[in-house]
Chains A and B, each alone.
Chain A
Amino acid sequence: QSALTQPRSVSGSPGQSVTISCTGTSSDVGGYNYVSWYQQHPGKAPKLMICNVSKRPSGVPDRFSGSKSGNTASLTISGLQAEDEADYYCCSYAGGYTFRGVFGGGTKLTVL
């Protein structure tokens, strides 16, 4: 089981936009619209930011948006704020003989 591929780090200045990619295969990201994104601050539990590729849960700022093209999903954060600095993980449902979940390796976002 291979993890989804994310860049190890991205950075941006306050007010700018950044995009984090998440590449999988046709058996996970490309095959289902069950891609989710999580934000994790140090020492804290992860927080769901995007589900079902592009749906924002209640309370998540509209600066966060998700999309998917083929086997690659993306998380875009616009109007960067200092509190956005965190680790971000993508996750996908994966089918097959039995279901499974698969996470990306995580991306460290630094707000300069």
Chain B
Amino acid sequence: EVQLVESGGGLVQPGRSLRLSCAASGFTFDDYAMHWVRQAPGKGLEWVSGISWSGGSIGYADSVRGRFTISRDNAKNSLYLQMNSLRAEDTALYYCAKDEVAGIAVNLESWGQGALVTVSS
């Protein structure tokens, strides 16, 4: 059974940094691309970033480009999101999601339960 478990969320002041992690199990991690998707309270889904199986292809939403960095460690079956210069509008539940393919298709076939990030002074 595929399991994706996010961690690292919490309350952080504007301008500070936070690093999210996603521990994957139940599948061959380095066979699949991975993504981060967020959902602000009461709002819709927003794609944040994605990374191919090898890390050779990476993409970001305009809203986070230059502030957020996605990475993966295939030896540890883990996905990361380094979030710098956080803003109030980054407040959201952050989901880790598994793509259907090794490259990038943004067919998100498995999701974690999310990590809540709250940016507030």
Contacts and interface: CB of A to CB of B under 8 A. Distances in A.
Contacts of A65: none
A66 B61 CA distance: 26
A72 interface: no
A91 B50 contact: no
Contacts of A105: 44
B1 interface: no
Contacts of B32: none
A43 B100 CA distance: 24
Contacts of A102: 47
A34 B45 contact: no
Interface string A40-66: 100001111001100001000000000
Nearest to A97: B59
Interface string B92-120: 00010000100011111111111000000
Contact of A106 (B37, B44, B62): B44
A98 interface: yes
A88 to B, nearest CB: 11
Contacts of B108: 36, 38, 46, 48, 91
15 contacts: A34-B106, A36-B107, A38-B45, A45-B113, A46-B95, A48-B109, A52-B107, A57-B109, A93-B105, A100-B50, A101-B35, A101-B59, A103-B46, A106-B44, A106-B45
